[in-house]
Amino acid sequence: MIDGYEDMTVLVTGANRGLGAAFADALVGLGAKKVYGAARDPETVRAPGVTPVRLDVTDRRRIADLAQELSDVTMVINNAGIHQRASVFDDTVVDVVESVMRTNLVGTLAVSAAFAPRLIENGGGIIANMLSAGSWLAGPGNLAYAVSKAAALSLTNNLRAELSPRGVQVTAIHAGFIDTDMMASFPGPKLSPREVAEAALSAIAAGAQEVLIDEMSRRAKAASAQPVPAFAGLTTAG
């Protein structure tokens, strides 16, 4: 648990737009000591008070270099992520899943592993992973994203098991549909990035290691604990 963000130096990945930009801007508003906004093109990080840094979370060499450069970081928000539609019937399904996993899972692991020693050296800190209600949900076309977020949830739980005894809080953040470029084609109600960022940061400051932002996330988690139904036999799609 922390008193506030005034003493925190924070790295936010994918900070040039959408939820990442909202996290960075909210942290500045909360008086964070310093906020590094990471993006592949740092010139696209334009939020006032945010220090842009170049980072592609699939570039392990750059991640390692950045962990050396930003030795003052006490909090990491792993927000960078991608979504690509995929079905088991697609010829490209394996390639798509590999691509999404490289960013959403391996990228989160690589950044966390590189910065965990820094957080410990700086007296402990926080790793917050932006996951999804999709960590527990399955649906047509959502194979790659759902698999990556379910795996990232397991990663988060394992990071917590290793890092909590060393003074590092590891928080999983879950939300349903958020009004970002990723969900631009979704016509239904969506959460604003700012409300997600503010709710998550408030919960993290209170010591929460799991944040269920909305009812969709709460229902998805509850449903995941229900028994798998018995196979009903052959069905015809379409």
Q: Which long-range contacts (CB under 8 A, 24 or more apart) does 2-5 make?
A: 2/126, 2/204, 2/205, 2/207, 3/205, 4/30, 4/31, 4/205, 5/30, 5/31, 5/32, 5/33, 5/201, 5/205
Stated as kind and residue range, the H or E segment containing 69 is helix 60-69
Report CA 192 to chain centroid distance, whole Å: 16
Characterize the bridge pairing of strands 51-54 and 34-39.
Answer: parallel
Catalytic residue (choose from 67, 86, 145, 180):
145
Active site residue 145: yes
CA dist 55 and 111 (Å) reads: 10
Instruction: Report, as residue numbers or ranges, the catalytic residues.
Output: 145
